[in-house]
């Protein structure tokens, strides 16, 4: 089993412990707002030194590869980090 498969198994196990009533469905028109809010939070936490900027760059590249139309893929702030 690859490291990816092991991590995926851990994530699926953790997800299965969350009660169904705790999950919410976000309306498509609200999803953009949530995406932007979460992005702003990640950027602020990185600027405070609480998140690793290199890791956030990698994860953003992955998200934008999967969904290039996502609004955050139009921003450059993560690429400008030193």
Residue that the structure tokens 């976000």 belong to:
26
Strands (E), the chain: none
Write phi, then psi, for 15 (nearest 5 degrees).
-60, -35
Per-residue pLDDT of the chain (82 residues; tens, 9 = 90+): 899 999 999 999 999 999 999 999 999 889 889 988 988 898 899 989 999 988 888 888 898 899 898 878 888 777 676 5
Helix (H, G, I), strand (E, B) or coil at 29: helix
- What is the residue extent of each domain of the chain? 24-82
Single pTM value for the model: 0.62
Q: How many CB atoms lie within 10 A of CB 1?
A: 7
Longest dimension (CA), the chain: 42
């Amino acid at each position: 089993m690859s490291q990816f498969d092991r991590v995926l198994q851990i994530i699926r196990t953790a997800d299965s412990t969350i009660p169904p009533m705790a999950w919410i469905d976000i309306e498509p028109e609200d999803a953009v707002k949530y995406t932007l809010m979460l992005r702003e939070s990640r950027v602020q936490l990185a600027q405070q030194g609480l998140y690793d900027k290199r890791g956030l760059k990698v994860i953003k590249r992955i998200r934008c590869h999967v969904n290039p139309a996502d609004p955050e893929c139009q921003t450059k702030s993560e690429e400008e980090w030193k």
